[in-house]
Amino acid sequence: MPLARAALRWSLGHALPRAALRRSAKQGDLHGRMFVATQSGDQAALEPVLDELRAHVPFYRGTYASLTVDHAAARAVLSNPDAGARFLRADRESALARLQAWAMEDAPLGPLTPPSLLVTEPPDHTRYRKLVSRVFSARAVENLRGRTQQIATDLLDQIDPRSPVDLVATYCSLLPVTVIAEILGVPERDREKVLRLGAAAAPSLDLGLSWTTFRQVESALREFDRWLGQHLDGLRRQPGDDLLSQLVAAQEDGVGLTDLELRSTAGLVLAAGFETTVNLLGNGIALLASNPEQRRLLAEREDLWPNAVEEVLRVDPPVLLTGRMTMADTEVAGVPMRRGTVMVALLAGANRDPRVFPEPDTFDITRQNARDHLSFSAGRHFCLGAALARMEGQVGLRTLFERYPEPRVQSGAVRRSTRILRGYERLPVTLRP
């Protein structure tokens, strides 16, 4: 029976949408073509589709969704109060709804299943976010800058610069996972497991997974949830000074998080706390390595590092797109949208809107409005970890390039195969000439 439920979840959530989008791609639908292009982690495969979408302002009406690469329209999608992050299900009395409910009975807890912050809406979302924000504030993040610097330095000390090294494995992944593990009180003995499970579960954000990948993702999510439950039990017995111990005890008007809400929120914060930052660091290293004039400018003007990180986020965002569905008839960017309309905001496209960013394909660390990118989303689902990611990006990239000013990316660099999370799976680099 569990296998039958899993097969139905996969069919409804991946196999059928994949077949439908591939069919629409053959018919010229840009949504379908975008889906096919994201099979490759290479941005170049996606750029022709983004260019064609740019001719349809503010929205391209596809067969299954309305897409936008327009900066203003994307922000409107993300900020619209009538647009929710959780998609409406079929009518509760329908056979499809009953099948969906049956299939989800033993589904693992994941980033796209309630009560995850990614797919909840007010009032629950407001309550969760307020509790998490209290223990994940900008002040708390800034207090971590010194420790993050120490971790970055220690990691570089362990690298032999005399031969090519995969910086994803030795630096980009280890820096953020160490930081978030310390924030959340994860014992050092468990950090390798957390990193492994986080990487295995990353495709859970994607649509159109193969059966094999789907089963691997669900297995990783279950193992991660079991580990997290044990970790939280330990913190209840012996709370520490870490933020997760504070989250366990946090309350709003005398009400804290239930066990399910706590596991979901803690799991999301933990996984999101390093998965996207791995991409930010890897993408930033690749961009700066291929733009020597920008590296030289940073060496002359250290004050540009924060803006350089914003430009990395704009040019090669760690997250490609995000979706919303209208909960009621509404208007978005002046366009009427019926209830149940799926809207896709292509963040990578909006970040290169030429009406907002002149010469949008140029990597320019002096760009005055680089911070106007939408890589952290917008509205009520604006990324809670934005301050942490920015700080880690500044420290991680600056520390690497100050020690090794002229890194060279070698052949063998491979982009991740995930559709939503965009970055490098392997990044072999020669650090010293």
Mean pLDDT, rounded, for 226-234: 92
Residue 269 has a pLDDT of 85
Name the phi and psi angles at 326, rounded to 5: -70, 130
- Rounded distance, CA 312 to CA 364, Å? 9
Question: pLDDT tens digits for 44-89?
Answer: 889 999 999 999 999 999 999 999 999 999 999 999 999 998 775 5
Rounded to whole angstroms, what are the CA distances from 212 to 97, 99, 201, 208, 218? 25, 22, 13, 12, 10
Q: Report which of residues 154 and 262 the model is more confident about.
A: 154
Rounded to whole angstroms, what are the CA distances from 36 to 9, 29, 31, 61, 67? 21, 11, 9, 17, 15
Task: Count CA atoms within 13 Å of residue 309 on its CB side.
Answer: 24
- pLDDT tier at 282, thresholds 50, 70, 90: very high
Q: What's the token pair of residue 178?
A: 């160490």
Residue 284 has a pLDDT of 98
End-to-end distance of the chain based on CA atoms, in angstroms?
Answer: 59
Mean pLDDT, rounded, for 239-262: 81
The residue count for the chain? 433
Residue 246 has a pLDDT of 83
**Burial class, 422, CB count within 10 angstroms (exposed 0-12 / middle 13-18 / buried 19+):** buried
Residue 103 has a pLDDT of 85
Residue 162 has a pLDDT of 85
Question: pLDDT tens digits for 329-350?
Answer: 999 999 999 999 999 999 999 9
Residue 320 has a pLDDT of 95
Mean pLDDT, rounded, for 309-317: 97
Is the pLDDT reported for residue 90 higher than 60?
no
Residue 92 has a pLDDT of 56
Ramachandran assignment for 412, one of left (phi > 0), alpha (psi -120 to 50 degrees), beta (any other): left
Whose structure tokens read 């930010």?
280
Strand pairing report for 408-409 and 414-415: unpaired
What's this model's pTM, rounded to 2 decimal places? 0.94
- pLDDT tier at 272, thresholds 50, 70, 90: confident
Rounded to whole angstroms, what are the CA distances from 51 to 272, 353, 423? 30, 10, 21
Q: Report which of residues 157 and 183 the model is more confident about.
A: 157
Lowest mean pLDDT across 22-31, 286-295, 361-370, 424-433: 424-433
Residue 93 has a pLDDT of 59
Mean pLDDT, the chain, as a whole number? 92
- pLDDT tier at 253, thresholds 50, 70, 90: low
Residue 94 has a pLDDT of 73
Lowest mean pLDDT across 154-158, 400-404, 415-419: 415-419
Q: Where are the beta strands (DSSP E) in 307-358?
A: 321-326, 330-332, 335-337, 342-346
Lowest mean pLDDT across 20-34, 96-110, 165-179, 279-293: 96-110
Other beta carbons within 10 Å of 193? 13
Q: What's the token pair of residue 309?
A: 């990180």
Is the pLDDT reported for residue 41 higher than 70?
no
Q: 68: part of which helix (H) or strand (E)?
A: strand 66-68
Nearest CA among 329, 347, 349 for reference residue 338:
329
